[in-house]
Amino acid sequence: MIEIKDLSKAFGEKCIFDGVSVDIKEGELFSVIGPSGIGKSTFIKCLIRLLKPDSGSILVDGQDIAVTNNEFTLAKVRRSFGYLFQEGALFDSLTVMENVAFGLKYLTDVPKADYPRIVKEKLALVGLKDVEQLKPSELSVGMKKRVSLARSIAAEPKYMLYDEPTTGLDPVTTGMVKELITDMRDKLGITSVVVTHDLSLALEISSRVAMLYDGKFAEVAEPAKFRQSENPAVKEFMEISHLSRK
């Protein structure tokens, strides 16, 4: 479980979080929504301590990583996470094999001789085969997303973080990414945190949806209850999202 208590973060005079508290339960798919620039990506960067909160606590399996500066402790906790970056962040100079195996080399003690087998297994999980020797430049946008996800799960994380996973994708590729995210939860039992401005994505795939607004979560609810929210900020966001899809 991930437990966030009274999380605060500001950049200069701009307050991003003002006492955010929420528990993310084991095995759930938790989505954080809100307009662009509201702090969604900052939220998951705090979860993995790429950014240090100003105050509050972040307990990952009982270990508070919010305030510690011990790099050994942080490195140990980060090994529990996989992170799918918004743009994929594949290394252009490396092959698919080398990209997917990257985390195995730096995050695990897996023997190098096992890399090819593990890479093939993870690529198969995301629906790819016979692409190990290709470079990212030889892949379609959808294939790059799949390879990025295979790399994220290669070290078998307990938690997966998805940063705007469908931004800039066509409808077909968006549907594929939705399926991949739910597959990772269902097949591997991974606890997932998705940050997105795509309300339809969040409502379709999530066990709970949280809307970030004015430094706090304006609403945290299961999709069916979220749709019925009477919170003015939530209702406005849903209306804007509905209009943008017309």
Cα separation, 134 vs 142, whole angstroms: 14
- The total number of structural domains in the chain stands at 1
Task: Give the predicted TM-score (pTM) of the model.
Answer: 0.87
- 71: exposed, middle or buried (Cβ count in 10 Å: 0-12, 13-18, 19+): exposed
- Kindly tell me if the per-residue pLDDT of 246 is higher than 60: no
Of 187, 191, 205, 186, the C-alpha closest to 80 is: 191
Cα–Cα distance for residue pair 156/125, rounded to 1 Å = 12
Residue 186 lies in a domain: no
Hey, what long-range contacts does 219-223 have (CB within 8 A, 24 or more apart)? 220/22
CATH of the domain at 14: 3.40.50.300
Domain presence at residue 135: no
Name the residue range of residue 210's domain: 1-80+192-246
Q: What is the pLDDT of residues 93-121, one digit of tens each?
A: 999 999 999 988 878 888 999 999 999 99
The residue behind tokens 């509050």 is 56
The answer to whether position 130 is within a domain reads no
Q: pLDDT band at 179, cuts 50/70/90?
A: confident
In a domain, 221, yes or no: yes
* Residues whose CB falls within 8 Å of the CB of residue 169, separated by 6 or more in sequence, listed in order: 141, 142, 145, 177
Residue 9 maps to a domain: yes
Residue 211 lies in a domain: yes
The mean pLDDT value for 203-219 works out to: 93
In a domain, 45, yes or no: yes
**Burial call 10-30: b when 16+ CB within 10 Å, e when fewer:** eeeeeebbeebebebeeebbb
Handedness of CA 180, 225, 59, 165 (dihedral sign): positive
Please indicate, yes or no, if residue 91 is contained in any of the structural domains: no
